[in-house]
Structure 1
Amino acid sequence: MVKHVLKRILMMLAGFFVSVLVGLIAVVVIYCALAALPNAPDYFGAMGMTPLVVLLWPPLGMFVYFLTIILTGLQTLIFALIAEFFALRNFIVHMLFGAAAAAAGFFLIWPGAEEDIERWADIGIIAAAGLVAGLVYWLIAGRGAGFRRPLIQR
């Protein structure tokens, strides 16, 4: 039993760290795709330059990665524990948890964003990246969610 719980905790951590990285990549991809649309705001194009800046100065990339881990860590832990205690293995649940955790992290770094109508696009982009991150988390750790070991081994 203890071995199974430790394995689940390690899977949760690995899933979280990889999904944060994939979520950050998804944010950049979404901004680049939206910057190509006609009449797109100028800052969408600026977000497309982010990977170049991160490649030229890796400490900035590590800062953004760890800041994202800090901003989304608590709510992701809560969602992961809910998924583990109730053995929620549906990928849609994990995607919605990822979107909620990403949007909550955005509200932590930008308080009052819900009142600023120009930030709603950013909230949607961050939530969409959270959907992708939630899917990646499900692929790594969510498919076998549940602290209790199944009675029948498949």
Structure 2
Amino acid sequence: MAVVGYVLKRILMVLAGYLVAVLVGLIALVVIYVVLSSLPNAPSYFELMQFTPVAVLVVPPLGMFVYFLTIVVTGMQTLVFALVAEFFSLRSYWLHMLFGAAAAAAGFALLWPDAPERWADMGIIAGAGLVAGLVYWLIAGRDAGFRRPSIDRSA
């Protein structure tokens, strides 16, 4: 019975880690665009992207739509990555960051099929995915593994 409880705890940690990581990833995306728009000779495109989050804050249903859409387009690949990490007890922060970047880039490619032509945006999205992967690791990835850690009873 304790094993079932442990697995349920891991599933809840994975879900909570994913939901928080998506939110932090979206915030990181905004921060990256703001920083890029402040660089000298930055394209006006970056300035436009820095003000887009204002619309999301002013119109909360739009913000919930963006959050939900992000969950929908990154959910399947993130589920695969999370199951791989849990099954093989992968606890490395850099691996979770790479998983986050790959999931974000794949989600972007789902929304925009011509994404390879938008390599700058793909890199920015992947950078936000790196941050999201780190946040996921902090919440759920450090203790990844469906199997309970063995307890040394000889001490």
Task: Give the structure-2-normalised TM-score.
Answer: 0.95
The letter of the residue matching 1:32 is V
Q: Tell me the alpha carbon deviations over residues 39-75 of structure 1, each in whole angstroms, 9 at most, x when there is no partner.
A: 2121211111123211211111000000000000000
Letter of the 2:89 partner, please give it: A
Aligned: 1:112 with 2:114: yes
1:71-119 deviations in Å (ceiling 9; x for gaps): 00000000000000000001000000000000000000000221x2xx1
Query: Does residue 1:33 correspond to 2:32, yes or no?
Result: no
Q: Could you tell me which amino acid in structure 1 is paired with residue 59 of structure 2?
A: W
1:148 aligns with 2:150: no
The corresponding residue for 1:131 is 130
Distance of 1:142 and 1:64 partners within structure 2 = 25
In structure 2, the gaps of 5 or more residues are: none
Partner of 2:60: 58
Summarize the alignment of residues 82-93 of structure 1 with structure 2, pairs less than 5 Å apart: 82-93=84-95
Question: How many residues matched?
Answer: 151
Percent sequence identity is: 73
Letter in 1 for 2:126: A
Q: 2:98 aligns with which of 96, 99, 104?
A: 96
Instruction: Give the TM-score normalised by the residue count of structure 1.
Output: 0.95
> Which 10-residue stretch deviates more, 41-50 or 62-71?
41-50
Q: Quick one: distance in 1 between partners of 2:136 and 2:60? A: 25
Structure with greater Cα Rg:
2
Letter in 2 for 1:69: I
In the alignment, structure 1 segments of 5+ residues that lack a partner are none
| Cα-Cα RMSD | 1.2
